[in-house]
Amino acid sequence: MSSRFTRRSLLSNAAALAALGGIGWHPRMARAAQGERKFLFFFASGAWDTTQVFDPHHGSQKVDMDPETFTRDMGPLLHNAGEDRPAVNQFFTRWGRRTAIVNGIDAHTVGHDSGRMMTLTGTSASSYPDWPTIIAASGAGDYPLPHVVFSGPSFGGPLAGAVVRAGGGTLLDLIDGSIVGAADRPAPALATPSDQMIDAFVFDRSARFAVEKGGIRGINRERTDALIDNLDRSMEIEGRRFEAGLGDLGNNLLDQSIKAVELMRLGLSRSAMIGIPGGWDSHGDNSVQAPQFDDFFAALDQLMDHMAVTPGLSTRWLIDEVVVVAMSEFGRTPLWNGSMGKDHWPYNSTMVIGSGVNGGRSLGATDDGLIGSKVDFRTGLASDTGDVLGSENVGVALLKIAGLDPAAFLPGVQSFDALVRG
């Protein structure tokens, strides 16, 4: 018998459960809150050119646009189109009504590190957690792998315990102990009976410690809770590793994306971060941006197809439960430089797709020089009496879509409510 099933069966051990039940502990087994939206974040590190897709400015003498492209008008939703980006065109044809583009976002910086921090946390302080970490750690659900970082940036701050890095494929090896066989001097694998005995001993000692040392409250209870909690999480992950497809983490964008939403479908995770491949810091040649965008949208189109026919955890289809967010740290200058590249520019765009999103429209605005305009936060339209739209305003709107109170995390920051459906 496999040790992972043996470990799960230990939870029915009468002596251990009786003692643990006496102090109020019961197995978690992925108590994911029904109805909670899940979030899949994509991040293009290096800074994307917003005019390539999200914020076209054809006809402006102050913005250089790729030749043979045009502004595609889909009612309230606009995007840059062209024969060299067929996947972009197809994506918006199929999924545009679910999609909101937010333009003219002030990143408040043109430095890569500070830009990532501002875009993902709304602050310049490294002690703050990012949006996906907050969402994973602060909802009603109880997830074994709250926020999974496959690739891309992550700011855990004081909620770093909710962050799990899945890159490199070592997560499961650490959990089941097989990583010891990959060392320079591999340790011998324990026989199943010995493994069973060790597990039983740990559970028994944990239960007795909690009871005998007054574990009803205080540090003893906290330590026991932490140990049992981690054992519980590891058993849940081990027991469902093949169901979730965790045993073979793919390296390409689509593989990682499908693994991420499968974790969400199974109630194992609430959020995930995936880096968008490519050389986005295109100072020397901006022509690399269009094919990179098209590759991303091709994968995104296939991901949406997968979610449209896959049952959700608490909805009929996964596509109605998962919110997809695509970001970069800032934008690129409106004009080409001497090398036909584009340099750093503080005004940015973000794309948000899915449940709870006011989709089918472009929100925010930039003027004919690609400078962010003041915006009415209720309608999302440019307004002389509106406010400057910052990355922090978009971030707290995402927290609202997640069902959280933004004031609990960034008090005093106004939410860009035009992004929130209803």
Q: Any idea what the Cα angle at residue 311 is, between residues 309 and 315, rounded to 5°?
A: 120
Choose the weakest-confidence range: 10-14, 298-302, 396-400.
10-14
Instruction: Quote the pLDDT of residue 7.
Output: 39
Amino acid identity of residue 342, one-letter, is K
377 in Cβ contact with 387 (< 8 Å): yes
Instruction: Grade residue 12 by pLDDT with cuts at 50, 70 and 90.
Output: very low
Task: Work out the average pLDDT over 156-168.
Answer: 86
**pLDDT of 20 strictly over 50:** no
| Cβ atoms of 400 and 406 closer than 8 Å | yes
Per residue in 133-160, pLDDT tens?
999 999 888 888 899 999 999 999 999 9
Burial class (CB within 10 angstroms; exposed 0-12, middle 13-18, buried 19+) of 184: exposed
The average pLDDT across 267-287 equals 96
Q: What token pair was written down for 219? A: 């540090």
In this structure, of 180-194, 202-216, 232-246, 261-275, the range with the lowest mean pLDDT score is 232-246
Q: What is the DSSP string of 381-411?
A: SB-TTSB--BHHHHHHHHHHHTT--GGGTST
Buried b (16+ CB within 10 A) or exposed e, 256-294: bbbbbbbbbbbbbbbbbbbbbbbebbbeeebebbbebbb
Q: pLDDT-based confidence at 204, cuts 50/70/90?
A: confident
Q: Taking residues 226-254, what's their average pLDDT? A: 66
Whether 78 shows a pLDDT value over 80: the answer reads yes
Q: Is it the case that residue 10 has pLDDT exceeding 90?
A: no
CA-based end-to-end distance of the chain: 52
**Where residue 31 falls among pLDDT bands split at 50, 70, 90?**
low
Token pair 């709107």 is at which residue?
Answer: 397
Mean pLDDT value of segment 386-413? 97
Give the lowest-confidence range in 188-202, 216-230, 341-355, 406-420. 216-230
pTM for the predicted model, two decimal places: 0.84
Average the pLDDT over 242-260 and give the result: 76
- Quick one: CA dihedral 422, 356, 236, 5, positive or negative? positive
Q: Does domain 38-166+249-419 have CATH number 3.10.450?
A: no
Look at residue 192 and tell me whether its pLDDT is greater than 50: yes
Instruction: Give yes or no for a contact between 153 and 45, defined as CB atoms under 8 angstroms apart.
Output: yes
Task: Provide the pLDDT confidence category of residue 217 given band limits of 50, 70 and 90.
Answer: low
Cβ neighbours of residue 14 closer than 8 Å, sequence gap 6 or more: none
Cα–Cα–Cα angle for 257, 259, 261, rounded to 5 degrees: 70
| Residue 343 vs residues 49, 79, 286, 365: alpha-carbon distances, Å | 9, 22, 9, 20
- The vertex-53 CA angle with 115 and 166, nearest 5°, equals 55
| Residues facing 416 on adjacent strands | none
Token reading at 121:
């946390």
Min mean pLDDT across 146-160, 168-182, 346-360 is at: 168-182
For the chain, the domains span 38-166+249-419
Q: How far apart are CA 323 and CA 306, in angstroms?
A: 14
Cβ atoms of 42 and 91 within 8 Å: the answer is no
What is the pLDDT, as a whole number, of residue 83? 97
Q: Measured between alpha carbons, how far is 322 from 94 in angstroms, rounded to an integer?
A: 17
Q: What are phi and psi of 317, to 5 degrees?
A: -125, 145
Q: Give the span between the Cα atoms of 38 and 278, in whole angstroms.
A: 26
343: amino acid identity, one letter: D
Give the per-residue pLDDT at 9: 43
In DSSP terms, 127 is beta-bridged to: none
pLDDT tens figures, 85-117: 999 999 999 999 999 999 999 999 999 999 999
pLDDT in tens, 119-134: 999 999 889 999 999 9
Run of H or E including 277: none
> Which of these, 415, 288, 303, lies nearest to 353 by C-alpha position?
303
Residue 236, helix vs strand vs coil: helix
Helix axis angle for 112-121 and 131-138, nearest 10°, is 30
Report CA Rg, the chain. 24
Average pLDDT, the chain: 86
| Strand arrangement, sheet containing 322-328 | 163-165, 147-149, 271-275, 38-44, 322-328, 347-354, 99-106, 361-364
Report the distance separating Cα 357 and Cα 301, nearest Å. Answer: 18
pLDDT at 5: 35
SS3 label, residue 178: helix
Query: Is the model's pLDDT at 248 over the cut of 50?
Result: yes
How much is the average pLDDT of 216-240? Answer: 64
For residue 351, the cross-strand partners are: 101, 326
Whether the pLDDT of residue 267 is over 70: the answer is yes
Query: CA 299 to CA 317: how far, in whole Å?
Result: 19
In the prediction, which pLDDT does 144 show? Answer: 82
